[in-house]
Amino acid sequence: MEIDQVDGETIQFKFEPLKNAELGVPLQLQKVPIPPNRVTPLRNNWLKIYTPLVEQLKLQVRFNPKTRCVEMRSCEATVETGALQKAVDFVRAFALGFEVDDALVLLRLDDIYVDSFEVKDVKTLNGDHLSRAIGRLAGKGGKTRFTIENTSRTRIVIADSKINILGSYRNIRVAKNALVSLILGSTPGSVYTKLRSVAGRLKDQ
């Protein structure tokens, strides 16, 4: 919105957002591979995934069963220049194992990310030692993971030895520190205590 003065009278000029074609931005295509274990969930949730990409971001979207990729491209109706990257981040989050409703936050907010790391990045573990470390991350019935998620306001997916965290930069750091402590052998009780302390400080900020 631009405001100017003409003969002492204030006049407002409203400019519509420029479309990609008007900005000279070339139409782009992006492909996101879907792991075999996520193809069925993709089919079951296709409408929830497809709708915001087409209606909100104005992209053209399809699933290619031959390549097992979600293919997305901008078109003349695409207004937002960062729409395609947002869509890629959203579909990748789903491919990593996040629920659609959790991954959708990547389309709504600009300060949400996905951070991934593996157990071996923290400590080299093999066999039963690795299995026990992964078990500590999840906890009985997923209790430990749920506690970390709720306290740090993140979402966590544990896929074998790979951990994916969805949230803001600051909250991801809180969750990651808790998970790293568990991998290094800390008890869930001590990790909970640190989490409560950190959560209290975050609320005060």
| pLDDT digits 0-9 by tens, 141-198 | 888 999 999 999 999 999 888 999 999 999 999 999 999 999 988 888 888 888 888 7
Domain encompassing residue 151: 113-204
pTM for the model stands at 0.80
Asked whether residue 8 is domain-assigned, the answer is no
Q: What is the CA angle 131-198-141, rounded to 5?
A: 35
If one counts the domains in the chain, the total is 2
**Residues β-bridged to residue 22:** none
- Spatial separation of the C-alpha atoms in residues 52 and 47, rounded to whole Å: 9
* 53, 89, 105, 119 from 74: Cα distances, Å: 10, 15, 21, 37
Count CA within 13 A, CB hemisphere, residue 12. 3
Which of residues 109, 125, 153 is at a domain's end? 109
| Helices 83-96, 36-44: inter-axial angle, 10-degree rounding | 110
Do 135 and 167 sit in the same domain of this protein?
yes
For 103-137, what is each residue's pLDDT tens digit?
Answer: 999 999 989 999 999 988 888 878 888 888 888 88
Q: Is there a domain that residue 5 lies in?
A: no
Percent of the chain at pLDDT above 90?
A: 54
The domain spanning residue 168 has which CATH number?
A: 3.30.1370.10
Last-in-domain residue among 82, 109, 136: 109
Last residue of a domain, one of 61, 86, 109: 109
40, 53, 113: which is closest to 80 by C-alpha? Answer: 53
Look at residues 192, 190, 153 and name the one whose alpha carbon lies nearest to residue 173.
153
